[in-house]
Amino acid sequence: MTGDTEIVPTTCAECSAHCGALLTIRDGRVTHVAPNPEHPYSKGAFCIKGIRGLTGVTYHGKRLLHPFRRVGERGAGEWQRIGWDQALDEIADGLAAARAKYGPLSLAGAVSNANCNRGVTIPLLLRSLGSPNVLINQDLCGGCRGVSSRVTGLDINRGEDIDHARCALVVGRNSYAANPVEWTALKNLKKRGGRIIVLDPKRTPAAEISDIWLRARPGTDAVIGLAMMHVLIREHLYAEDFVARWCVGFDALRERVEGFTPQFAESQCGVATDEIVRAARIYADGPSTFVSGHGIDAFSAGVQTFRAFHCLVAISGNVDREGGNLRVKKPLGFRDYGQVVHDPQFRLPREIEEQRLGAAQFPLWSGPEGWQAACHNPSVMEAVLTGRPYPLRAMYISGVNPVVTYPDTHRTVAALRSLDFLAVASDMMTPTAALADIVLPKTTGVEEEDVKLSPGGCITYTNPAVPPQGEARCDLDIAIALLDRMQARGTVTKNLFRWRTQREFTQYLLGDSGISMGDLQRDGFARFDTRLGDFAERPFPAPGGKIELYSSRLAALSLDPLPGFTPPAADASTPEIRAQFPLLLLTGDREKTYHHSRFREQDWAQKVSPEPRLLIHPDTARDLSFADDIWVRIETERLPGSCLAKLKVTEATPPGVVSTGMGWWRPGTDNDFQGAFAININAAMSYDGPWDPMSGSADTRGLRCRITRA
């Protein structure tokens, strides 16, 4: 400490990269954010969102600082400031009324992802009220990877050991924009003379530094994974000992991939046979690590695509080997969020969980054994709008912005508008918050505490380093206060919160791990010892304790137990549809300035990236007589909605394919729902399926579209 200036080590909570940060604090305010080079996982990697975005929102003039109640019509933007007691009472009344009229199942919570503090707080709040219904956005993010890992028994999430690899296989991942830790590691791998294989239809910065760039047709990745396995098996390049000891179903897999020759793959994906063979041989000369991204997730055959690559990781012996894909490690006695969500003591009776919206159709997603025990989001919208299979009438939303980030914006808005009651906790008046009856002010990542399990053998700590601005509160405090009021109304099924404060909850997560609050506060993280290859002591999380190349869980559900290839949904379009919608649309391009719909209110970010862009190949632009920088309207095959974007002519995207970002809206403007109907790609996209038969995910890429001059 110098004078009244203090440096506080913490962890940036703005995204799942979990970078170590150093906050400079003066007079109770964060004046500077810098990377923490001591952090065992991020090692000084950082990004502009952490440096500017976090404090930008914390101290923004338009930040939500007090509870508000809607006075005008829903969405009209007329608000009255109220006190916390009144706000919580009105929320308790709103939820209690729906519960009394339609039953506990008529309540739902919404949050984004289960691996953060609010990702546990919100499901536990709803379960305490008797409802198993929680929306997480992971059918749109990482859900296909998660389900594949689960049915394969392969717990390698985020264990890419690029630092020790000889080869990185980067599939559908733009590390440059998405994760600075990963991007730094890839550049170092290159410098060391390691090899990089990129599978991506777009020329990303990783493709630019790669040794082999496989530019497959969107949505055909599985066939390359299968063909790579074909080569490994045919040329005896697979890890025979590892397969014999730790995998089940190899013979069936071998039979399955027999037909997936590189020649066949070429016919489906357009990548030359020789390139596929070369990629397979380089990958087999490991240790190699598989780096996957959203480019192969969130689509209607996403789980099977991940199955192909997860099986490739397994048969090549790259599981939990230095330079391969490391298994999730945890200190003994520590409870991570995923574990709490699945802990039987915090669950509802099985017959209730079987009624979770989506459970019947997608048991691996929404059933009692579902990956994160969450609803199938499109089925929730259906229930809200139609009352089928039962009415869903009240919602509590925190830490997610469905109006902008779920496909089919008009339907999402119609659903939220029609609710009997809606409460939203947020840091800004987002288009979602704008539809609420009550809006609550939320703390930000410098004001609230969080403890997370990170790769690289460390627990990261987010330090509530400064007091909340205004009257903001953290999710746990809100949930506990709300439950007290619900209890007073006799509308609690069973209060699952055994903690009265955030600190008590943190202590519960730390459990008997031996990691103390003092350690965390001093360093911003705590290391723990890990061991590689402890397969005998720590069996794989599958029925026989081994990796299931042939998945018994999929077989039991009459789903394909072996990895396979489903041609992209767009291939099934009729000639008429192809003529009307001649282009393929990719969405979700990440930008360094924004995190999905976040930071859109900040001047610096608007300067760097003022408007949504649609990338188009020069040949395609010429065919359509479109020039750079003109505004176009994007329409997709399955929806009457549309979206505007400004063209960017570039060879980064292949001919016939256009590509855009996501998360666009214009904070504070009052037309078109703050832009959510006008410049948000989800306004042009359907959430109606086809859905992945295992995860329920819809296609966020590879959609047939057309563009016209706006």
Ligand X SMILES: Nc1nc2c(c(=O)[nH]1)N[C@H]1C(S)=C(S)[C@@H](COP(=O)(O)OP(=O)(O)OC[C@H]3O[C@@H](n4cnc5c(=O)[nH]c(N)nc54)[C@H](O)[C@@H]3O)O[C@H]1N2
Query: Cα separation of 589 and 613, whole Å?
Result: 10
For the chain, helix, strand, coil in percent to 5 are: 35, 20, 45
- Would you count residue 293 as binding ligand X (CB under 6 A)? yes
* Minimum CB distance to ligand SF4, residue 51 (Å): 7
Cα dihedral 373→374→379→385 (10° resolution): 130
Kindly indicate which of the ranges 235-243, 312-320, 536-544, 587-595 contains the residues binding ligand X, using the contact rule CB under 6 A.
587-595
- Helix and strand numbers (H, E) in the chain are 27, 25
Q: Closest CB to ligand X among 53 and 561?
A: 53
* Minimum CB distance to Mo ion, residue 206 (Å): 18
584 touches, from ligand SF4, Mo ion, ligand X, none (C-beta below 5 to 8 Å by class): none
Q: Closest CB to ligand SF4 among 428 and 547?
A: 428
Contacts to ligand SF4 by CB under 6 A: 12, 14-15, 17-19, 46-47, 49-50, 180
Looking up tokens 């000891």 gives 245
Q: Closest CB to Mo ion among 141 and 197?
A: 141
Query: Cα separation of 154 and 147, whole Å?
Result: 10
Q: Closest CB to ligand SF4 among 46 and 540?
A: 46
Kindly indicate which of the ranges 169-177, 260-268, 523-531, 629-637 contains the residues binding ligand X, using the contact rule CB under 6 A.
169-177
> Rule CB under 6 A: which of 294-313 touch ligand X?
294-296
Question: Strand order of the sheet with strand 195-199?
Answer: 212-214, 195-199, 167-171, 288-292
178 touches, from ligand SF4, ligand X, Mo ion, none (C-beta below 5 to 8 Å by class): ligand X
Please pick, from the candidates 307, 590, 638, 706, the single residue that binds ligand X as defined by CB under 6 A: 590
19 touches, from ligand SF4, Mo ion, ligand X, none (C-beta below 5 to 8 Å by class): ligand SF4
- Would you count residue 140 as binding ligand X (CB under 6 A)? yes
Kindly indicate which of the ranges 46-54, 141-149, 377-385, 528-536 contains the residues binding Mo ion, using the contact rule CB under 5 A.
141-149
Is the preceding omega at residue 368 within 30 degrees of 0, hence cis? no
Alpha helices (H) along 524-597: 552-556, 575-580
Please pick, from the candidates 15, 82, 328, 360, the single residue that binds ligand X as defined by CB under 6 A: 15
305 touches, from ligand SF4, Mo ion, ligand X, none (C-beta below 5 to 8 Å by class): none
Query: Cα separation of 331 and 451, whole Å?
Result: 13
Phi first, then psi: give them for residue 117, nearest 5 degrees. Answer: -50, -55
- Would you count residue 141 as binding Mo ion (CB under 5 A)? yes
Q: Are 634 and 707 in contact (CB under 8 A)?
A: yes
Query: Cα separation of 398 and 414, whole Å?
Result: 19
Q: Closest CB to ligand X among 15 and 710?
A: 15
* Minimum CB distance to ligand X, residue 140 (Å): 4
* Minimum CB distance to ligand SF4, residue 554 (Å): 34
Q: How far is CA 311 from the centre of its chain?
A: 22
- Would you count residue 566 as binding ligand X (CB under 6 A)? no
In Å, what is the CA distance from 48 to each residue of 35, 176, 599, 650?
10, 13, 11, 25
Query: With helix as H, strand as E and coil as C, how does 379-397 read?
Result: HHHHHHHHCCCCCCCEEEE
Q: Are 318 and 196 in contact (CB under 8 A)?
A: no
> Rule CB under 6 A: which of 343-382 touch ligand X?
none
Q: Is 422 helix (H, G, I), strand (E, B) or coil?
A: strand
Is the preceding omega at residue 575 within 30 degrees of 0, hence cis? no
130 touches, from Mo ion, ligand SF4, ligand X, none (C-beta below 5 to 8 Å by class): none
Q: Closest CB to ligand SF4 among 54 and 584?
A: 54
- Would you count residue 202 as binding ligand X (CB under 6 A)? yes
Query: Cα separation of 541 and 309, whole Å?
Result: 18
Q: Are 438 and 87 in contact (CB under 8 A)?
A: yes
Kindly indicate which of the ranges 240-248, 314-322, 627-635, 699-707 contains the residues binding ligand X, using the contact rule CB under 6 A.
699-707
Query: Cα separation of 364 and 368, whole Å?
Result: 8
* Minimum CB distance to Mo ion, residue 112 (Å): 8
* Minimum CB distance to Mo ion, residue 452 (Å): 16
Q: Are 294 and 245 in contact (CB under 8 A)?
A: no
* Minimum CB distance to ligand X, residue 425 (Å): 5
Neighbours of 282 (CB within 10 A): 18
* Minimum CB distance to ligand SF4, residue 296 (Å): 21
Q: Is 417 helix (H, G, I), strand (E, B) or coil?
A: helix
* Minimum CB distance to ligand X, residue 201 (Å): 5
601 touches, from ligand SF4, ligand X, Mo ion, none (C-beta below 5 to 8 Å by class): none
**Chain length of the chain:** 710
Q: Are 698 and 298 in contact (CB under 8 A)?
A: yes
Chain contacts with ligand X (rule: CB under 6 A): 15, 49, 112, 118, 137, 140-141, 171-174, 177-179, 199-202, 204, 218-219, 221, 293-296, 398-401, 405, 407, 425-428, 430, 442, 445, 475, 586-592, 594-598, 662-663, 681-682, 685, 700-702
Chain contacts with Mo ion (rule: CB under 5 A): 141
